[in-house]
């Protein structure tokens, strides 16, 4: 092959040799020429160096590309983990704060219009006992107990509520209301065992409505006292 008067025959032969397309006869002749012709051997060595160098350059570029991709993915993975840890940490902290709130915030005395109506209804239909005095007594006891409870006078509140709890033929709504007030009175008074046993009875009320947050508060405060006193 010539171009601009140059003969590239040797280069073509060396290329064929490195491309592995020489025949057996060509290979033998190639070997003999390498031994006999030092300038040809030099050309072969130079071509070997260039081919190896170019191959390794290409290989390095390829590998570096893969490394770059792996590093970027690793960085993304770290960001994901950091964000996950941050979110989980935040959620954990929020849950801990909420539990502390439930376990330590003061219990609310339930005063609900529905309850007041129920107590007032007691005068008409609350008790199956037809005695007017009985109805008035029940209403009076409950009202007094609530007042004591609100003022922090727990012993008289408990006495009144226990008396109410022993009354027969109480409507379920009113029974549950009395028990819930008793749970809180005992809990505030430090009588954890009694509060816990009453809580078990009233934790899923059928008629009396206890806000979920209040039930959680009582549960946590009962358990806080049981676990850490």
Residues that bind another protein (CB under 8 A): 1-4, 6, 8, 11-12, 19, 46-47, 49-51, 53-60, 63-64, 66-71, 73-74, 77
SS (H, E, C) 40-94: HHHHHHHHHHHHHHHHHHHHHHHHHHHHHHHHHHHHHHHHHHHHHHHHHHHHHHH
Contact yes or no for 21/50 (Cβ under 8 A): no
CB closer to another protein out of 56 and 82: 56
CB closer to another protein out of 4 and 125: 4
CA distance 112 to 172: 17
The percent helix, strand, coil of the chain (3-state, each to 5) is 80, 5, 15
In 3D space, the residue among 195, 194, 203, 202 whose CA is nearest the CA of residue 174 turns out to be 202
**Closest separation in Å from C-beta 63 to another protein:** 5
In 3D space, the residue among 145, 177, 137 whose CA is nearest the CA of residue 161 turns out to be 145
**Closest separation in Å from C-beta 165 to another protein:** 56
CB closer to another protein out of 8 and 98: 8
Contact yes or no for 144/162 (Cβ under 8 A): no
CB closer to another protein out of 19 and 132: 19
**Closest separation in Å from C-beta 64 to another protein:** 5
**Closest separation in Å from C-beta 90 to another protein:** 22
**Closest separation in Å from C-beta 48 to another protein:** 11
CB closer to another protein out of 37 and 59: 59
Count CA within 13 A, CB hemisphere, residue 152. Answer: 1
CB closer to another protein out of 54 and 150: 54
In 3D space, the residue among 197, 156, 155, 202 whose CA is nearest the CA of residue 178 turns out to be 202
CA distance 145 to 103: 24
**Closest separation in Å from C-beta 69 to another protein:** 7
């Amino acid at each position: 092959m010539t171009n601009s008067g140059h003969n590239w025959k040797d280069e073509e032969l060396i290329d064929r040799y490195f491309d592995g397309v020489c025949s057996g006869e060509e290979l033998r002749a190639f070997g003999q020429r390498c031994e006999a012709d030092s300038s040809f051997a030099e050309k072969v060595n130079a071509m070997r160096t260039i081919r190896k160098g170019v191959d390794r350059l290409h290989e390095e570029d390829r590998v570096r590309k893969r490394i770059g991709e792996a590093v970027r993915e690793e960085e993304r993975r770290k960001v994901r983990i950091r964000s996950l840890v941050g979110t989980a940490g935040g959620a954990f902290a929020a849950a801990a704060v909420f539990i502390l709130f439930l376990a330590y915030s003061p219990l609310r005395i339930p005063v609900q219009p529905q309850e007041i109506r129920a107590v007032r209804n007691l005068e008409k239909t609350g008790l199956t006992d037809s005695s007017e005095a009985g109805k008035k007594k029940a209403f009076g006891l409950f009202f007094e107990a609530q007042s004591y409870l609100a003022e922090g006078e727990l012993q008289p509140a408990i006495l009144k509520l226990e008396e109410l709890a022993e009354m027969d033929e109480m409507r379920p709504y009113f029974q549950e209301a009395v028990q819930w007030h008793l749970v809180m009175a005992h809990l505030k008074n430090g009588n954890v065992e009694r509060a816990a046993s009453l809580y078990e009875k009233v934790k899923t009320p059928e008629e009396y409505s206890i806000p979920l947050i209040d039930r959680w508060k009582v549960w946590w405060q009962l358990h806080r006292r049981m676990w850490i006193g």
